[in-house]
Structure 1
Amino acid sequence: MPGTSARSARTAAIGLLAAILLAGSAVPGNAEQVPANPGTNYAIDDPFTSERTQWWRDSRFGMFIHFGGYSQLEGEYRRPDGSVCRNAEWIQRECAIPREEYEDLVAGFDPAGFDADAIARTAAEAGQRYLVITAKHHEGYAMWPTKVNRWNLRDHSEFDKSRDILAELKRATDKYGIRLGFYYSIWDWHDPDASNPDTFDRYQERMREQLRELVSDYDPALLWFDGEWSTDNPPNPWTAQDGERLESFVRGLDPELIVNNRVGKRRVTDGDTGTPEQEIPSEPVAGQLWETCMTINGHWGYAKWDHDWKSSADLVRNLTTTAGRAGNYLLNVGPDARGRVPAESVSRLRDMGEWLRRDGQGAAVLSAGAPGIVEQPGWGTVSRRDGKLYASVYDWPGSGGSLTLQAKSAFDVTAARVLGSDQRVDVERTDAVTIRPSGGPANDLATVIELDVATPSPAPEGDGTGLTARFWAHRNSPGEPDVTRVDPGVNYDWKYTGSPDPAILPAGYSARWTGTLEPRFTETYTLRTVSSNAVRLWIDDRLVIDNWSEHGPAVDDAAIPFEAGRRYAIRMEMKKETDEGVAKLLWTSPNTPQQIIPAAQLHPER
């Protein structure tokens, strides 16, 4: 974990950038949100490449903790008629527990057995690099001594009034070199203003004040929002515009924070990270960093009757599969009413940590990403790190059998070995890669074959400065532009209240970027736009992306074969008709991880 001084220096630098880009949008110290000015761009960096997110991208594995007032019930509620209703963190709503009765039940909550040091140590031993705990779930119960209300662990429980479990976790995670994050639910079943559109602003003021407490008192590395969807029982008035204001607000509190996309409406244009739940996407998520959250059994909160535990093999394979698709794996534990993590969870986490440490197998996960140069196989998964492919094999071939990888670009395999075994590995490279290990699997959970690969050298980094950008203060683009400049790349999320320039109002505008693009590899690239309202992209005067109709946040792709070092004419247009303004241009290729096209590879129009 970086030292405090290094973090402070980076915070100051990013804070200056945020102050420039978010001018007038979020002012720490003020509970009220100040509207953004024209000219605001909420995309303060490229999360795929920024220093701010580097630790998160390298981590790949984190611990989720669902713990709240609902834990007191341990998954069961006995109704007055004697019948039993079962649930976990949603038990108040799903079992229709009257508010007064639920408050009486939670008043007896006493998690005296909560051991922050043991939890952080377990995470560290499991190979988890960060930890996210539910500071406030949908029931609205705060797990820290908030000054905003008395519906919290200090003021409404039997718990020791001198203890603060979030402060204890902060000390413990610092001790073990783990980053701390907080889950915070936007949806709140307890606060009466949270479900009333007429008083929702008052609730949002209290929400912002609680978030200010969390950020200033505990210095989290990330905020994990939830409860952003439109629903009833109780109603949830949250809008995308509310999300814009909240994201701006928390970035004003700490510009280094990593924020998930549930801060808004769970879209590719919200926050830094996408949040698939209880599933692993079949390929890297387009347009956004991503993290899948998953339970070890069937529930997030503790349910004493749920013994449907995933096996250690399944969990290790989920982890390696996620890393091979450039994602993070946030694996949940749910402490019981006394604050103790179930032994079944701890034992599986220890198995995962042992697997990661054994024979260097952690290289297949930590700091690893999508392989790019090969397709994912059916017998396991492949990740890539530092000039090596790591094939995590789940279905080992029989004696004399082989494993096949389908190549996506040119490369050679210069060496191969089975981690944890001295057996010979023969590799044949034709149109595909055929791997023939001479012995059996070296690990029952997943056996890793490490392949040294030699890929073509890239062309030298370009000397570009970006693209020529022209902006019009209306939705069509005839006549002279209102603003002309060179943009270092196309990475804009103006949302509802921002715009390309202070001279241009957010109500509607259009833009055009022109110049040349210079790839560094001879291979097929995917050019990717993230847009809202309308977008078109041309390469050498050929229209390759055409989504020129009013639409919400969308991702569009075009596969283009490029030659390294050659310059290709590029033109991108967008317009904002209504709602939000978004314009991003990314690329990815077998040897280029997904990223905003960097300025060095873009040249302005002459």
Structure 2
Amino acid sequence: MNKKITSQFSLVIILALLFSFASAQVKPSPAQLAWHEMEFYLFAHFGPNTFTDLEWGHGDEKEEVFNPAKLDCNQWCRVAKAAGAKGIIITAKHHDGFCLWPSKFSKHTVRESKWKNGKGDVLKELSVACKKYGLKFGVYISPWDRNHPDYGTEKYNDVFVGMMKELFTNYGPITELWWDGANGEGPNGKKQVYDWKRFKETVRTLSPKTVVFSDIGPGIRWVGNENGVAGITNWNTLTIDGFEPGAKAPSTDTLNAGNAYGKYWIPAECDVSIRPGWFYHKAEDDKVKTPEQLFQLYEKSVGRGANLLLNVPPDGNGLITAFDSVALVGFKKLRDENFGTNIFKHADTYHLFGGILKKAPAVSDGNLQTGEKFTAVERESVGVEIKADKKVNCVVLYEDIKGGQNCSSFKLLLFNKMDELVKEIHGTTIGRKRILTFPAVDINSIELTIEGEHGATIIKEIEGYLINENLVEK
């Protein structure tokens, strides 16, 4: 290897490693690992608000207002597949209390509507369609209920638990359960004291493989905004002792970045709508995000180690509109085109540590099941080199997180064929996937140094791309 690989390396701070050793033991569960691999999936806000043109229903809407005459959950799934999404999460019960399934715990459901003469069941249709199309099925259920007469009393906790039991019994498997932390007044003017401990125990008992979302998990956390943007520093770990979903959650800054030494593995999910609102509004048909905007959201969510949950609301017919589907297909095309050719796949790769140079083919073999381990106690780097200069403006790094998230800071040096340093990039966390973009430069090698780590970092892959300059993260 030439002199580029032997450039100055940063020392690992041994005392910091010893102090933070315990943090490296915080690991994802198998269900959380599977969730990380999903990357991108759809949210479907659907209910009475779709027909009343509201975002938050009042709970007193007539059940007959819900009547999606052309509902086709197979169409939703076809759109999701065309977009490259891995699943769909449906708002089974929003704050207005209306249930998209005929719950025996409420009188404000599809059973009381005119849709299909009260015989319809949106959850059943979507869960069946997701199985048909190989998509994961998720359910949003708000504990706030502006309709239920028992809301604001201890009896309502029994109601909410009963509803969750119906969900898992009749519509599983449910990959993700989404809890909204909103807590307003019910029809009696009272607020509910949610029994979060009991809620969590119910899910754990009925469906232990379901990953639960809320501000503080326990499986996945809110990212702290509804813009679809994770922190530039994004830890998958979070300490939640003493916090609750909703008003008693950690600060949005903490949720956005996580805790470097957090006690629990609770990674961030970035929720954002393809439209200005969450429910369908005809007036927003011309305000759908463009494929380019969606691509940049992908860079700032998935590209920072989080997952992207993109809301695509069906209209009053019960269909995803052409405005949304065209944008989604365009988004998929941009990902395929721009991440289609990894310039560094099967390049020459080297691992330099303690003055010893060895080959490290795992970081350029295109296989995310292999990787190269940093010792965490020596000056070292990994280099990737091709024969001739090529234009690059995007580098993608993958960290193996099965054993925990370890990289806390890194340095990338980009060299050209003349051994000249043309670009230097410094970053903090990597996580499952880190996408770094910059103005295009001509290079033939990349050198990665892990400058700070909680434990032995494993890099699974280093990729290089030339993406459309208009897509470079702003």
TM-score using structure 1 length: 0.50
Which residue does the alignment assign to 1:291? 269
SS at match of 1:53: helix
Q: 2:150 is aligned with what amino acid?
A: D
Which residue does the alignment assign to 2:304? 325
Shift of 1:47: 8.1
Give the paired residue count. Answer: 339
Which residue does the alignment assign to 1:524? 452
8 Å CA contact 1:272, 1:289 repeated in 2: yes
Which residue does the alignment assign to 1:530? none
Which residue does the alignment assign to 2:179? 225
SS at match of 1:411: strand
Does residue 71 in structure 1 map to residue 50 in structure 2? Answer: yes
- Among residues 162, 186, 208, which one is paired with 1:209 in the alignment? 162
Q: 2:272 is aligned with what amino acid?
A: M
Does residue 251 in structure 1 map to residue 217 in structure 2? Answer: no
Which residue does the alignment assign to 2:243? none
- Among residues 378, 382, 388, which one is paired with 1:411 in the alignment? 382
Shift of 1:63: 0.2
Which residue does the alignment assign to 2:282? 304
Does residue 92 in structure 1 map to residue 58 in structure 2? Answer: yes
SS at match of 2:137: strand
Shift of 1:169: 1.2
Does residue 54 in structure 1 map to residue 14 in structure 2? Answer: no
Report percent identity of matched pairs: 24
Shift of 1:121: 1.1
Does residue 276 in structure 1 map to residue 204 in structure 2? Answer: no
CA-to-partner distance for each residue in 1:308-352, whole Å, 9 max, x for gaps?
222210111101221121001111111222212222111111111
How does 1:341-380 map onto structure 2 within 5 Å?
341-358=320-337, 360-361=339-340
8 Å CA contact 1:523, 1:589 repeated in 2: no
Unaligned regions of 5+ residues in structure 2, if any?
1-24, 235-256, 260-265, 344-361, 367-378, 393-414, 426-436, 462-474
Evaluate the alpha carbon distance shift between residue 290 and residue 184 of structure 1 in structure 2; reply closer, same or farther with a 3 A threshold.
Answer: same
8 Å CA contact 1:388, 1:451 repeated in 2: no
How does 1:140-539 map onto structure 2 within 5 Å?
140-194=97-151, 196=152, 199=153, 201-219=154-172, 220-229=174-183, 234-239=189-194, 242-260=195-213, 262=214, 266-267=215-216, 270-279=218-227, 280-283=229-232, 284=234, 285-287=257-259, 288-306=266-284, 307-358=286-337, 360-361=339-340, 387=363, 410-415=381-386, 426=416, 433=423, 523-525=451-453, 527=454
Considering only CA atoms, is the larger Rg found in Structure 1 or Structure 2?
1
TM-score using structure 2 length: 0.63
8 Å CA contact 1:130, 1:179 repeated in 2: yes
Q: 2:178 is aligned with what amino acid?
A: W
Higher RCO (CA < 8 A, seq sep 6+): 2
SS at match of 1:412: strand
What is the CA–CA distance in structure 1 between the aligned matches of 2:109 and 2:342, rounded to whole Å?
A: 41
What is the CA–CA distance in structure 2 between the aligned matches of 1:224 and 1:303, rounded to whole Å?
A: 23
SS at match of 1:293: strand
SS at match of 1:171: helix
Shift of 1:278: 1.9
8 Å CA contact 2:270, 2:306 repeated in 1: yes
Q: 2:168 is aligned with what amino acid?
A: V
CA-to-partner distance for each residue in 1:373-395, whole Å, 9 max, x for gaps?
xxxxxxxxxxxxx73699xxxxx
Shift of 1:50: 2.4
Shift of 1:412: 2.1
8 Å CA contact 1:138, 1:186 repeated in 2: yes
CA-to-partner distance for each residue in 1:456-482, whole Å, 9 max, x for gaps?
8xxxxxxxxxxxxxxxxxxxxxxxxxx
Evaluate the alpha carbon distance shift between residue 134 and residue 455 of structure 1 in structure 2; reply closer, same or farther with a 3 A threshold.
Answer: same
What is the CA–CA distance in structure 2 between the aligned matches of 1:225 and 1:47, rounded to whole Å?
A: 24
8 Å CA contact 1:108, 1:158 repeated in 2: no
Q: 2:192 is aligned with what amino acid?
A: P
Evaluate the alpha carbon distance shift between residue 523 and residue 426 of structure 1 in structure 2; reply closer, same or farther with a 3 A threshold.
Answer: closer
Shift of 1:455: 5.7
User: Structure 1: which 4+ aligned runs deviate by more than 4 Å?
Assistant: 229-235, 416-419, 425-432, 445-456, 587-593
Evaluate the alpha carbon distance shift between residue 452 and residue 226 of structure 1 in structure 2; reply closer, same or farther with a 3 A threshold.
Answer: farther
8 Å CA contact 1:138, 1:187 repeated in 2: yes
SS at match of 2:165: helix
Evaluate the alpha carbon distance shift between residue 447 and residue 67 of structure 1 in structure 2; reply closer, same or farther with a 3 A threshold.
Answer: farther
Shift of 1:146: 1.4
Q: 1:238 is aligned with what amino acid?
A: V
Give the superposed CA RMSD: 3.8
Shift of 1:127: 0.8
CA-to-partner distance for each residue in 1:467-504, whole Å, 9 max, x for gaps?
xxxxxxxxxxxxxxxxxxxxxxxxxxxxxxxxxxxxxx
CA-to-partner distance for each residue in 1:429-463, whole Å, 9 max, x for gaps?
7777369xxxxxxxxx999999986768xxxxxxx
What is the CA–CA distance in structure 2 between the aligned matches of 1:362 and 1:294, rounded to whole Å?
A: 28
Q: 2:209 is aligned with what amino acid?
A: E
8 Å CA contact 1:181, 1:223 repeated in 2: yes
What is the CA–CA distance in structure 1 between the aligned matches of 2:322 and 2:287, rounded to whole Å?
A: 14
SS at match of 1:193: coil
What is the CA–CA distance in structure 1 between the aligned matches of 2:186 and 2:143, rounded to whole Å?
A: 14
Unaligned regions of 5+ residues in structure 1, if any?
1-45, 76-87, 94-98, 365-385, 391-407, 420-424, 436-444, 457-521, 528-586, 594-606
Evaluate the alpha carbon distance shift between residue 446 and residue 156 of structure 1 in structure 2; reply closer, same or farther with a 3 A threshold.
Answer: farther
SS at match of 2:77: helix
Shift of 1:356: 2.7
CA-to-partner distance for each residue in 1:365-413, whole Å, 9 max, x for gaps?
xxxxxxxxxxxxxxxxxxxxx73699xxxxxxxxxxxxxxxxx983323
8 Å CA contact 2:48, 2:66 repeated in 1: yes
